[in-house]
Amino acid sequence: MIPCPPGARYLGIGLRGGCMKLTVKLVLAFTAASFLILMVDSVVVVRGRAALFEEGAQLDMKRFGRLLRDVLSELQLAKGKDAVAELSARFSREHPNVGFRVLPSSSLATDSSVPLNASDLRRLGEGEQVVRVESTPRNADRLVVYTAFDSQILEVHQSLSVLRRYVRAVWIRSLVVAAVMVLAGSVASLLLGFRTVGKPLQEVIAKARRVGAGDLSGPLRLRRRDELRELADALNDMCERLREANDRLRQEAEARVTAVEQLRHGDRLRTVGRLASGVAHEIGTPLNVISGRAQLLTDQSLTGQVINENAAIIKRQADRIARIVRGLLDFSRRSIPRRVAGHLLQVLRETAELLHPIARKSGVEIRLPEVSDAQASIDMGQMQQLFTNLIMNAIQAMPSGGTVTMAVQATMAACPEVPNAAQRPYWRISVSDTGCGIPPEHLGSVFEPFFSTKDVGEGTGLGLSIAYGIAREHGGWIEVESKVGGGSCFSVYLPREDAQ
């Protein structure tokens, strides 16, 4: 992570563990571009100044050569060549960077220190001057101007060390100025970038993370007028629309849940209607017993023991009636779904007891499983409705009577609705009948809402659909196997509570 520059935290721009990478990248790009531009400019300026300096030095040296030639010509005529040599030696001592000497034309062929060729000599003979930049043994370049002097050649030279020092000084000054300008610009850009880009971007990122976590509250406010403000406004508008969409989805989900509960409750009430005739018969017998025993109690000749026995019989029959009515009311009552650890065998027994009158009236026997320790996380009322629908479906499939067999088995299975699902422990509760069976072309549609193979008016087609929905809400599903003329078997898969 890129560390913050010194003082960044004191200006309120330090972030958790590091600075913003985007701002640092922009500053680095700006720094590199600025440094490159300054260096190119420095190279151009220094080379231009060096060329001007050297050109000026050449012009000065040419003028000095011509002037010196005239002076030496008069001196030589007046005092001789020795005076010229003496002047040259004294001038070299007094001016270390500038000097001159007189070269006889006859010595040019043997003097290797004079780099003049035939073309240069021809030019000198025509009255021109020859300019050379020569290197000395100490690697100190010097500017040399050759001028024809009577039958000799006048060599005037000047050291270029001053020019080289000037160029070096300009280079150093340019580097220092460039470094200071880049450093100052980088620091200013970094601080400004954190204020104008980094900090607002961090607020936008924090807002986006809150939105990703599901928190759509707290609109993002940026006091500025640029693209980041437009981004913040767009993010706020998106959050507002998401909030409205979530509200609509929540309302639709609540309405869907309410509709499902209404369908289940309506299905439960329709089942209660089917149970009414059987319950009436079940209640009729104990009511007749109660009525007869009550009539006997009006006889004044009965002993106390006989009265007690009749009263006990009346109480047992009344409890029986109350139990039947209570079961019917509990089944028909609309309750809020509440899943708790419950025993499946208890649900199956209560359901079988509730449906016993209808089953007996249709000549159907209900056989309960022998397993006594099958526990799962269930809503007792919803689970009772699920098995009621399956048993009622089985009873209706056997108009001439038969047997409904229920079994509970621990098994490992994978949910068919989840792709590549791993196997998990489930309870398999099967409800089998010996009825007419389901045609193969209808097996794929038995759990669809309002699908029914019964005649019009005999069923709504919601029973199996509601049963499947209850199984799914409990983390399970229902499978069906059937053979025409050989009965059907509905298997309910529920997660095992003891294997969680």
Q: What value does the mean pLDDT take over residues 436-440?
A: 87
Tokens of 340: 């708790």
Angstrom distances, CA of residue 376 to CA of 61, 148, 489:
111, 122, 21
When pLDDT is averaged across residues 278-304 and rounded to a whole number, the result is 65
DSSP letter assigned to residue 226: S
Q: What is the pLDDT of residue 367?
A: 92
Please give the pLDDT value at position 136: 65
CATH of the domain at 366: 3.30.565.10
Residue type, 423: Q
Other Cβ atoms closer than 10 A to 280:
12
66 domain-assigned:
no
pLDDT tops 80 at residue 223: no
Q: Has residue 399 been placed in a domain?
A: yes
359 occurs within a structural domain: yes
The whole-number pLDDT of residue 3 equals 45
Distances (CA, A) of 489 to 47, 55, 449, 455, 486: 99, 111, 20, 22, 10
At 50-93, the pLDDT tens digits run 788 788 888 888 888 888 888 888 888 888 878 888 888 888 78
Round to whole Å and give the CA distance between 465 and 470. Answer: 9
pLDDT, position 1 = 38
Is pLDDT larger for residue 315 or for residue 478?
A: 478
pLDDT tens digits along 260-275: 677 666 666 666 665 6
Dist CA 246 CA 85 (whole Å): 107
Residue 456 is predicted with a pLDDT of 39
Residues forming a β-bridge with 425? 412
Cβ distance 155 to 100 under 8 Å?
A: yes
pLDDT, residue 278, reads 55
Cα–Cα distance list, 399 to 248, 357, 362 (Å)? 47, 15, 7
Tell me if 342 is assigned to some domain.
yes
Q: Specify the length of the chain in residues.
A: 500
Residue 156's DSSP bridge partners are 100, 145
* 251 in any annotated domain: no
Query: Is residue 131 in a domain?
Result: no
Would you say 358 and 274 are in contact if contact means Cβ atoms under 8 Å apart? yes
- Residue 79's pLDDT is what? 85
Per-residue model confidence as pLDDT tens digits over 33-42: 887 887 788 7
Q: How many CB atoms lie within 10 A of CB 439?
A: 11
Residue 318 domain-assigned (yes or no) = yes
218-222, 352-356, 361-365, 435-439: segment of lowest average pLDDT: 218-222
The average confidence (pLDDT) of the chain is 77
Residue 478 falls inside a structural domain: yes
Structural element, H or E, at residue 140: none
Q: Dump the DSSP string for 10-79.
A: GGT---TTS--HHHHHHHHHHHHHHHHHHHHHHHHHHHHHHHHHHHHHHHHHHHHHHHHHHHHHHHHHHH
What is the average per-residue pLDDT within 490-496?
93
pLDDT in tens, 442-484: 887 788 765 666 553 445 556 788 788 889 888 999 999 998 8
370 vs 148, higher pLDDT:
148
Assess whether pLDDT exceeds 60 at residue 277.
Answer: no
pLDDT higher than 80, residue 153: yes
Q: Which of 5-14, 53-62, 388-397 has the lowest mean pLDDT?
A: 5-14
Q: How far apart are CA 33 and CA 310, in angstroms?
A: 111
Between these two residues, 320 and 229, which has the higher pLDDT value?
229
What is the dihedral angle through the alpha carbons of 450, 454, 455, 457, rounded to the nearest 10 degrees? -50
- CA distances (Å), 228 to each of 70, 198, 220, 241, 467, in order? 78, 11, 11, 20, 54
Give burial (CB, 10 Å; 0-12/13-18/19+) of 233: middle
User: In this predicted structure, what is the pLDDT of residue 41?
Assistant: 83
- Quote the pLDDT of residue 258: 75
Q: Which among 427, 367, 376 has a CA at the least distance from the CA of 394?
A: 367
User: What is the Cα–Cα distance from 143 to 162, expressed in whole angstroms?
Assistant: 11
Which H or E run contains 126? none
In 434-473, the DSSP E strands lie at none
Radius of gyration for the alpha carbons in the chain, expressed in angstroms and rounded: 56
* Strand arrangement, sheet containing 152-159: 98-104, 152-159, 141-149, 130-135
* Identity of residue 174: S
Of 127-136, 308-317, 485-494, the poorest mean pLDDT is in: 308-317
Q: Name, in order, each residue with C-beta under 8 angstroms of 140's C-beta and a sequence gap of 6 or more.
A: 159, 160, 161
Among 118-122, 274-278, 330-334, 387-391, the least confident range:
330-334
CB 437, CB 484: distance < 8 Å? yes
**pLDDT-derived band at 22, boundaries 50, 70, 90:** low
**pLDDT score for 412:** 93
Q: How many structural domains comprise the chain?
A: 1
Task: Among 5-9, 92-96, 428-432, name the most confident range.
Answer: 428-432
Burial class from Cβ neighbours inside 10 Å (0-12, 13-18, 19+) for residue 413 reads: middle
CA distance 201 to 227: 11
Q: Which range in 12-26, 111-125, 189-203, 339-353 is most confidently predicted, on average pLDDT?
A: 339-353
Q: What is the pLDDT of residue 8?
A: 43
159 has pLDDT over 70: yes
Residue-level pLDDT at 9:
42
Distance CA 395, CA 147 (A): 135
| Span 319-377, pLDDT tens digits | 667 666 665 565 555 555 678 888 899 889 888 888 888 888 889 999 998 766 788 88
Global pTM exceeds 0.85:
no
Range of the domain at 436: 258-499
pLDDT of the residue at 140 = 62
pLDDT confidence of residue 274: 58
Q: Where are the beta strands (DSSP E) in 362-483?
A: 364-367, 375-378, 402-413, 424-433, 477-483
Q: Bigger pLDDT: 335 or 200?
A: 200
User: 3-state SS string over 391-425?
Assistant: HHHHHHCCCCCEEEEEEEEEEEECCCCCCCCCCEE
CA atoms within 13 A on the CB side of 433: 27
